[in-house]
Structure 1
Amino acid sequence: MKKKLLLGIVSLFLATSASASATPEGDFQDYIVGLKNEAREIGISEPILERAFKNVAFKEKAVKSDRNQPEKKLTLDEYIPRAVPKWKIKQANDLYKKHYKVLNRIGEEYGVQPRFIVALWGVESNFGKLTGGYNVIEALTTLAYDGRREAFFKKQTMAALTILQQGHITPENMKGSWAGAMGQCQFMPTSFLSYAVDGNGDGKKDIWNTHADVFASAANYLKQVGWDDTYTWGRQVQLPESLDAESLKGLSEEKGKTLAQWQELGVRRLTGKALPDADIKAWLVQPDDKDGRAYLVYNNYQVLMDWNRSHYFALAVSHLADSIK
């Protein structure tokens, strides 16, 4: 009996060890063969496929990052000072002045205030310093193979190969985040194909290294999604205790009211003064809870939410833009 028990334990140990040491690399390489066949069907050349998939391996770290969720959510009072610290505000103002000529040209061409272009640049990649060191094809292929969001990441892989085929960047230099977000404005490959533009007239859309292309691509995204430089993004407000904010807040079309209507409901600027006398539609958002920060936001805020479906992201960009003089 003891001998059978011992043999069972040994067998279990060996099986567990084998499982722990097993890798998906073999199946992953078979998966790449299928991706290459699909890529050929959309016109990706053999030289591009050869270079793009050279030495590509399964990246477990990318899968872990995709599945990892933060355990503790910060409140806006905690998050905004971290996302928009004083040093970032200073850098934003310094870089705004440094690149003012090209920013002003692009802002006028696309109808986007330059301070919002700089703010997006700062929040997305710390002004180009944090763009990710992953091989984009490797990261996207890994996440497609993982299967949790296969259709999405397979589509991004094909888009990335198309970018390479068009010659905007070399396979060796196409770097990005673990999720495949690329360059200083952190575009996913499909966003690149839809919104990236050549901002300096050299024939390439280089969002990795060329500031004019980064700025113009960000501005073009905002313009195409509906940005209006007549207005800003919104403002933090005070709510009266009598207001049923829970039933009024939200970004759906029916939740929008004019500033005059919000004024009648008792909503005021954070200072307690009356809301602006402007004929514009606004929405009430309160990302934390009923005791947290409240904002009246305009359509431009909706555009920022299209870029990234996070109130925290949109508010970080908005607050940074407001700090640029």
Structure 2
Amino acid sequence: MANRFPQCIERLERQAIEAGVSSQTAGEVLAGAEYLERVIELDRRQPEFTTTFADYLNRRVNSDRVSRGRKLLDQHEELLERVTRKTGVPAPYLVAFWGLETNFGSYFGKMSVPSSLATLACDERRSQFFTEQLIAALRIVDEGAIPAEQMEGSWAGAMGHVQFMPTVFLRHAVDGDGDGKRDLWNSLPDAMMSAGHFLQDLGWNGDYRWGREVLLPAEFDYSLADGRKLPLEQWRTLGVTDAFGNKLANEPIEAALVVPAGHRGPAFLAYKNFNVIMGWNRSEFYAIAVGHLADRI
């Protein structure tokens, strides 16, 4: 594919300009885009799909991350409370997303976002999706959020403290510090307010948690773990308890049973906010990790 990359870049430049990107931005940024073989390699082995649930959770929710999350929760209390008041998303969840996405801002990724997205847009596997992301990234450069040469992120083009994809940035990022720019790299207020705004737009319900770990009775019918949502009262009737063996709360809420490691592994009841987290990242492993980390923080 590398030998076809120059011709693909010419096509992408035309598409970007047709989509409303300035010809100057499209020409200058794409002229500097490079084909990155490493990006293709990483695209073929994403951790949510190549590791066990236990390994995934233990790597991402550990005592060090919990301890640091608690310290940052206190350190940024005023900012996080402001985000919660405005969006309804509790502070521990904001910190949990931050922790899982960039280890609390310690690593944004070192890949050139334009080069990564151009590489993936020229790959047949998900060309349409990444072409859309590339054009969105060029629009972000056009609006002056960040110079193209400073636009670094993950191999897939996710950017900033909370690793927004470019289309998510355009639709949901906000100016949280009042300087007139949406800067998810250098402004924590922008990043946290944008994260809360995104989750709010996805339908976050501030009255309830994400879900909870539960214990299932012997001889439980695992066919119920098929995505169906039942009232908590019905799960109680089926003998499901919380992780400590206590009866489930009698709340007017529906939940789906999730068993990410099969019938021998842990079980969880997922509430509506679990689906909201899945709107951020379509991985059950990720959604459980966010909820578990938020609980521990």
1:75 aligns with 2:65: no
Q: Residue 262 of structure 1 corresponds to which residue in structure 2?
A: 235
1:315 CA displacement: 1.1
Deviation (angstroms), 1:220: 0.8
Measured after TM superposition, the shift of residue 63 of structure 1 is: 1.1
CA distance in 1, matches of 2:46, 2:96: 26
Deviations 1:51-107 (A, max 9, x none): 31243221111111112356963233x432221111111110111111110110011
Aligned to 1:24: 2
| Corresponding residue to 1:281 among 254, 260, 272 | 254
Structure 1 gaps, min length 5 = 1-22
Task: Report if aligned partners of 1:238, 1:269 keep a CA contact under 8 Å in 2.
Answer: yes
Q: Distance in 2 between matches of 1:73 and 1:60?
A: 23
Pick the aligned partner of 1:168 from 130, 145, 157: 145
1: CA distance between counterparts of 2:239 and 2:42?
A: 44
Structure 2 residue 296 is matched with structure 1 residue 319: no
Q: Deviation at 1:30?
A: 2.0
Q: Could you say which structure has the larger radius of gyration?
A: 1
Q: 1:194 to 1:305 in 2, by over 3 A?
A: same
Q: 1:41 aligns with which of 18, 22, 33?
A: 18
Identity of aligned residues (%): 42
Q: Which amino acid aligns with 2:224?
A: L
Give the equivalent residue in structure 1 for 2:211: 234
The AA in structure 1 aligned to 2:275 is: Q
Kindly indicate whether residue 245 of structure 2 is the aligned counterpart of residue 272 of structure 1: yes
**TM-score normalised by the chain length of structure 1:** 0.87
State how 1:40-189 maps to structure 2 within 5 Å.
40-68=17-45, 73-76=51-54, 78-189=55-166
Q: 1:168 to 1:72 in 2, by over 3 A?
A: closer
8 Å contact kept, 2:33–2:115: yes
- Matched-pair contact (CA < 8 Å) for 2:52–2:261: no
Unaligned runs of 5+ in 2: none
Distance in 2, Cα, partners of 1:298 & 1:163: 34
Amino acid paired to 2:270: V
Root-mean-square deviation over aligned CA pairs: 1.6
CA contact (8 A) 1:51 1:171 kept: no
How many residue pairs match? The answer is 296
C-alpha deviations, 1:172-211, integer Å up to 9, x for none? 1111111111111111111111111111111111111110
Shift of 1:294: 0.4
Q: What amino acid is aligned across from residue 36 of structure 1 in structure 2? A: E
Give 2:95's aligned amino acid.
V
> Helix, strand or coil: the match of 1:53?
helix
Deviations 1:262-310 (A, max 9, x none): 1111111111111012111111110111111001111011101111111
Aligned to 1:244: 221
